[in-house]
Amino acid sequence: MNFISGLKSTLVEADRILVIGCPGSGKSTLAKRLSRALDLHYVSMDRDFYWLPGWRKRPRDEIDRLIADAVTEERWIMDGTGLNSFHLRLPRAEAVIWLRLPRYACLWGVISRAFRHLGRNRPELPAGCPERISLEMLAYVWNFERDAAPLIEAGLREYGLAKSTVIIRSRHAARQFAALRA
């Protein structure tokens, strides 16, 4: 079986897929495309769990309850890294796609997205959360590989998903991957 065939069969057979990665890597774009291609319910962690209008973050116990409810569903694709909820999501995931693009590509993604949507809502955010950019976000992206990647790797190992995780390292590869059909 070649690489692309293996990816296709993994995805076609999976009913619950996590799409994770650094902000600006294209998680939402890929998850929405795969949602349509694989007929899976699309769940945005930012929109559905984390944020309330006015960029107010939900209380942690409410976030966990919402995630715990969502992952009991039989078929979904969820975008968002959310390390604090790996213990809820990874046991239910059948496949993980990790967009592990270079730092500069993620920075470009965050900055270009901010200019495209500045002052307006992206579909992946709840109403009342207009797009914005901050030094804090840029620093998070800059340090993501150093700070978050080791925690992601540990979580994937802990839940037995390390060897079956699909790692995508470029936007071109993500577009090719999204073009896969059953």
Domain with 162, as residue range(s), is 3-178
If DSSP codes are grouped into helix, strand and coil, which group holds residue 73? coil
Phi and psi of 148, rounded to 5°? -95, -35
Whether this prediction's pTM lies above 0.85 is answered by yes
With 60 as the cut, is the pLDDT of residue 3 above it? no
36: domain CATH number is 3.40.50.300
Name the residue among 10, 86, 87, 76 with its Cα closest to residue 44.
Answer: 76
142-153 pLDDT tens trace? 999 999 999 999
Average pLDDT over residues 48-76: 97
82-134 pLDDT tens trace? 999 999 999 999 999 999 999 999 999 999 999 999 889 998 899 999 998 99
Counted domains in the chain:
1
Through-space distance between the first and last CA atoms of the chain, rounded to whole angstroms = 15
If DSSP codes are grouped into helix, strand and coil, which group holds residue 151? helix
